[in-house]
Amino acid sequence: MERKNSDDVSLSFTPKETLVDRIQTLIKGRSIRAVSLAWGLPYSTLNNYLNKGTDPSFKAIQVIAEAEKVSLDWLAFGSAQSKSEPPIDTLKYNKTSPAIRNAWDMVYESLSDHEINELLKVIHRKGIEGILQITKTDSLESSIDNLHIRPTLKQAIKLAMAGDESLDQEILRRIEEKKNTDETGHLSQEEDHQKVG
């Protein structure tokens, strides 16, 4: 009986994707430092997983799966996510009402690519709280502009809003001084007597 040499035998199997391969898939071109911050894992630990052959702990796998919104099964074993169960993010984070989601979609659809990029830059630079603060200030200034008063008074109100307590006191002092000044520009007698005694 003749034995075949093992070199002549070819097995046709594809090596299974490893846990490290799936982690690298999740990294998607980001730096290890950026990913370590996003995932809340030390840089050196993540670097050891990727480059030194260290196996991640179960807790680390959980953290990565949650941060990237993938199933633990897929990350740990490479098994496909079940079609019947929604991804982690829709179970935990999908609290937006359909009306609000539709409003966001309408806004998004109405913007050009350039406007979308500019909006994202502003959100990135200022953050949501900063943008909301700007809109509050803008709406207050718009309200002042819509008042039926003299333009100079509108400007004075806006300046006073931007100032502090000392500016408010100065404005009140000048108003009081103006009230007590007669047409010739001299303080009235009542004001002189009040200041002296």
More confident of the two residues 188 and 121: 121
Q: Domain check: are 159 and 123 in the same one? A: no
Structure confidence by residue, pLDDT tens digits, 34-48? 888 889 999 899 989
> % helix / strand / coil in the chain, to the nearest 5?
65, 0, 35
Asked whether the predicted pLDDT for residue 12 surpasses 70, the reply is no
Kindly report the average pLDDT of the chain as a whole number.
Answer: 74
Is residue 63 situated within a structural domain? yes
Sign of torsion, CA 82 86 87 91?
negative
Given the structure tokens 């829709």, which residue do they identify?
A: 90
Q: Domain check: are 147 and 133 in the same one? A: no
Q: What is the CATH number of the domain that holds 31?
A: 1.10.260.40
Is residue 35 situated within a structural domain? yes
Structure confidence by residue, pLDDT tens digits, 55-72? 898 899 999 999 898 988
Q: Domain check: are 23 and 73 in the same one? A: yes
Q: Domain check: are 27 and 73 in the same one? A: yes
Torsion angle defined by CA atoms of residues 179, 180, 182 and 185, in that order, rounded to the nearest 10 degrees: -100
Q: Domain check: are 155 and 132 in the same one? A: no
Range of the domain at 25: 19-77
Is residue 166 situated within a structural domain? yes
- Percentage of the residues of the chain whose pLDDT score is greater than 70: 72
- Number of domains, the chain: 3
Q: Which two tokens stand for residue 46?
A: 């993540």
pLDDT at 102: 76
More confident of the two residues 76 and 14: 76
Structure confidence by residue, pLDDT tens digits, 169-189? 787 787 778 777 765 666 665
Is residue 96 situated within a structural domain? no
Residue 4 backbone dihedrals phi, psi, to 5 degrees: -85, 145
Q: Domain check: are 40 and 64 in the same one? A: yes
Q: Domain check: are 127 and 156 in the same one? A: no
Given the structure tokens 């260290």, which residue do they identify?
A: 54
